[in-house]
Amino acid sequence: MSKKKSGTAIKKYNKAVHKEALKKWNKEKDSRNHGVFNNMKYVLGVAWKNNKPVFFAFFLSALMSSLEQILSPFFNRYIVELALGEQNRIRLIIICISIQLGITIAFSIKRNSESYINNCGQYSLNQIFMRKLIIKQMNTDYENLEKTYLNDTYSKAESGASYISSQAIDVMSRSVSSILQMAAFGGILAILSPLLILIVGVPTVLCYYISRRKMKWVWNCYTPAVVPEERKLNYIVNESNELHRAKDIRMFNMQRWFKKKFDQVYETRMDLAGQRDSWENKMDIFSLIVSHVGDFGAYIYTIFLVSSGNIGAGEFVMYFNSIMHFSNSVKLWLDNFSAYQWLSNNIGFSREYLEIEEKTNRGVGAKIPTKDCEIEFKNVSFTYSGADKPTIKNISFKLNKNEKLAIVGLNGAGKTTLIKLMCGLYDASEGEILLNEKPVNDYNRDEYFDIFSAVFQDVAVLPVTIAQNITQSKDSNYDKEKIYSVLKSAGLYNKVMSLSQKEQTKLVKNVFDNATEFSGGENQKLALAKALYKNSPVLLLDEPTAALDPIAEQEMYMQYAKFTKGKSSIFISHRLASTRFCDKILLIENGEISECGTHQKLMENGKTYAMLFELQSSYYKDGVKNCESKK
């Protein structure tokens, strides 16, 4: 191996590394739900179910490839015999033409089959698996998306799906082809001498084990060293291209830092690549020598037979070519052992993610109420995956029918977590949540989502028209008057009407050249319009005025009573002035309810809520006084 210029040299593959890798391998193997045979059967089943032409093209390609290879030595034999002027020349001409015609037809069918597999089959399989993963990703329990190990599983599954599409059919096709060729060329060599099979086969098997040792070093020594460097490079490249980083990069002159870090990581990455190249070259040269020992031995034996007159020139050419083909077919067959295991691992990654069990009810549930919803928390606690302590602790309260509830508290108090529990994104770790006196898991979770119209802090804007963003439908037959009504309630009507295409204006300039880009406050208004258009019986507003200016915020407060009429609503805000519009206020501190009541009652109590309210008021008053004094 080349000497490491920087960092640490990659360790050699010795007995200790082998023992550690074998232990890890057995542990991973025991944890897998599906074996190699089961995974290959699964892929074939998917191909058969979704694209039968690919299934047939795969077998046809293997068969025609084998036939083309098998016919080639026979054609060479008879063409040599014809050239040497042996008897029955007419017969030899007919045989040569027939064999060549067979080779041409086999080659044409193989080429068309492979073209279909490469252009349609692999892409089709890739899209089938990616579609499965995307649907699972969008429908799995929300809290699964925040679990690190499941995110890692998804990353492996996504990579695995890509590998399945590019390799599955090819590996299985090569396996069938190699078995057919081994049988055919092994039979040809056995006619001459069964000893030839051993002379050619044993060195080929040894080459397989040399290749295995080469790959074990790559898997167990090289990969662990290179993955962190790849991750660093990806981070640097991705962050330097992110639009939201562009301002900081320019304003704080971060270009030098990115360039320096990129050069450092790139140098280490290239040095690791050089070490791999050095190791693989050594193994490849050793394998080439071993392989040629067997082939040369077989060649010498056939040369001896033809020179001693035991076989003719045509037979010599046939056997000579058969030695090479037999050696290659054995090598291909052995290589597929590793390929099958690698392929099975990637199929397993995808299947394991697709088979993640869901905690929530996705089957038949209780009938969902269409209005007058009452939600009750009974001694609810929630702990995030991997966290040492709960974020929400033993909370009990009730959101009554048509009640306007405010939830306030400092950052990190647990307000947003409480909302996610209420709307079904999380399941309580302890206690229970009831909808109209029934546990929420009695309802189908997707149907349960329908009772909520939510505006979260992070606004998702889709690259479609304003109308489609609001209706969340690809259908252009929307209720125009309803859209205008919610735009007015959200304070976005005048902005939309000023655009040339009004509600048909596309959003997200990164996708459409003629799109409009909304400001942060306008995006928040758009999210509110979307929630109002959905018109669900429960309205959730998580910091809906965070990106609004004071005037827009005041306008929203004035509209609040109007668009919450006949609904139960929850309003989360840091700005305690907004809570006066609500019937009841919960103050959350350290994941617990510390105060509950109306604004007036909490002010009279003179505790934390009153202190925070007076503190915010004083900042505002002091700010006004300072501005006036400067004038």
493-523: pLDDT as tens digits: 889 899 888 888 888 877 777 888 888 888 8
Higher pLDDT, 13 or 534: 534
Say yes or no: 407 and 287 in one domain: no
Answer whether residue 575 shows pLDDT above 80.
no
Say yes or no: 289 and 412 in one domain: no
Q: How do beta strands 568-572 and 375-382 pair?
A: unpaired
The dihedral region occupied by 309, where left means phi > 0, alpha psi between -120 and 50, and beta the remainder, is left
Residue 309, token pair as written in the block:
């007159």
Residue 192, token pair as written in the block:
């001459």
Q: What is the C-alpha separation between 487 and 526, in angstroms, rounded?
A: 8
Say yes or no: 441 and 311 in one domain: no
Residue 602 included in any domain: yes
Q: Is there a contact between 65 and 369 (Cβ–Cβ < 8 Å)?
A: no
Count the domains in the chain: 2
Q: What pLDDT is attached to residue 166? A: 61
Residue 287 included in any domain: yes
Confidence of residue 623 (pLDDT cuts 50, 70, 90): very low
Q: What pLDDT is attached to residue 101? A: 92
Answer whether residue 14 shows pLDDT above 70.
no
Residue 560, token pair as written in the block:
């609040």
The CATH number of residue 406's host domain is 3.40.50.300
Range of the domain at 536: 398-426+437-461+518-630
Q: What is the pLDDT of residues 37-53, one digit of tens each?
A: 888 888 878 877 877 78
Which of 371, 368, 367, 419 is closest to 568 using CA atoms?
A: 371
Q: Angle at Cα 428 formed by Cα 540 and Cα 147, nearest 5°? A: 90
Say yes or no: 144 and 273 in one domain: yes
* Long-range contacts from 19-25, C-beta under 8 angstroms, 24+ separation: 20/220, 21/216, 21/219, 21/220
Looking at 354, 381, 415, which one is the last position of a domain?
354
The stretch 333-356 carries a mean pLDDT of: 78
Answer whether residue 564 shows pLDDT above 50.
yes
Q: What pLDDT is attached to residue 475? A: 67
| Range of lowest pLDDT (79-88, 293-302, 553-562) | 553-562
Say yes or no: 534 and 421 in one domain: yes
Q: What is the pLDDT of residues 116-126, one digit of tens each?
A: 877 777 777 77
Say yes or no: 188 and 291 in one domain: yes
Say yes or no: 210 and 316 in one domain: yes
SS3 385: coil
Residue 149 included in any domain: yes
Say yes or no: 347 and 402 in one domain: no
Q: What pLDDT is attached to residue 625? A: 44
Residue 506 per-residue DSSP state: B
The stretch 412-431 carries a mean pLDDT of: 87
Looking at 329, 354, 379, which one is the last position of a domain?
354
Q: Which amino acid is at 225?
A: A
Residue 263 included in any domain: yes
Confidence of residue 377 (pLDDT cuts 50, 70, 90): very high
Residue 406, token pair as written in the block:
């405010």
Q: Could you count the other beta carbons within 10 Å of the beta carbon of residue 162?
A: 16
Q: What is the pLDDT of residues 252-287, one digit of tens each?
A: 777 888 888 888 888 888 888 888 888 788 888 888
* Long-range contacts from 218-223, C-beta under 8 angstroms, 24+ separation: 218/276, 218/280, 219/21, 220/13, 220/17, 220/18, 220/20, 220/21, 221/10, 221/11, 221/12, 221/13, 221/17, 222/10, 222/272, 222/275, 222/276, 222/279
Strand order in the sheet with 538-542: 452-455, 538-542, 568-572, 404-408, 584-589, 592-597
Higher pLDDT, 177 or 623: 177
Q: What pLDDT is attached to residue 507? A: 87
Instruction: State percent of the chain over pLDDT 70.
Output: 87
Q: Is there a contact between 581 and 404 (Cβ–Cβ < 8 Å)?
A: yes
Q: What pLDDT is attached to residue 378? A: 92
Q: Is there a contact between 568 and 450 (Cβ–Cβ < 8 Å)?
A: no
Say yes or no: 340 and 410 in one domain: no
Q: What is the mean pLDDT of the chain?
A: 80
Say yes or no: 111 and 243 in one domain: yes
Q: Could you count the other beta carbons within 10 Å of the beta carbon of residue 478?
A: 16
The stretch 315-323 carries a mean pLDDT of: 82
Per-residue b/e over 382-406, b at no fewer than 16 CB within 10 Å?
bbbeeeeebbbbebebebebbbbbb
> Which residues does 494 contact at the CB level (< 8 Å), separation at least 6?
none
Q: What pLDDT is attached to residue 1? A: 40
Residue 224, token pair as written in the block:
């662990």
Residue 241 included in any domain: yes
The stretch 362-366 carries a mean pLDDT of: 83
Residue 418 included in any domain: yes
* Residue 87 φ then ψ, to 5°: -65, 170
Say yes or no: 322 and 447 in one domain: no
Q: What is the C-alpha separation between 547 and 524, in angstroms, rounded?
A: 7
Say yes or no: 268 and 403 in one domain: no
User: What is the radius of gyration, based on Cα positions, of the chain?
Assistant: 35
Q: Is there a contact between 152 and 163 (Cβ–Cβ < 8 Å)?
A: no
Confidence of residue 627 (pLDDT cuts 50, 70, 90): very low
End-to-end C-alpha distance for the chain, whole angstroms: 75
The CATH number of residue 334's host domain is 1.20.1560.10
Residue 294 included in any domain: yes
Residue 537 included in any domain: yes
Q: Is there a contact between 354 and 210 (Cβ–Cβ < 8 Å)?
A: no
Task: Say how many CA atoms lie within 13 Å of 23 toward its Cβ.
Answer: 6
Q: What pLDDT is attached to residue 379? A: 92
Looking at 354, 369, 390, which one is the last position of a domain?
354
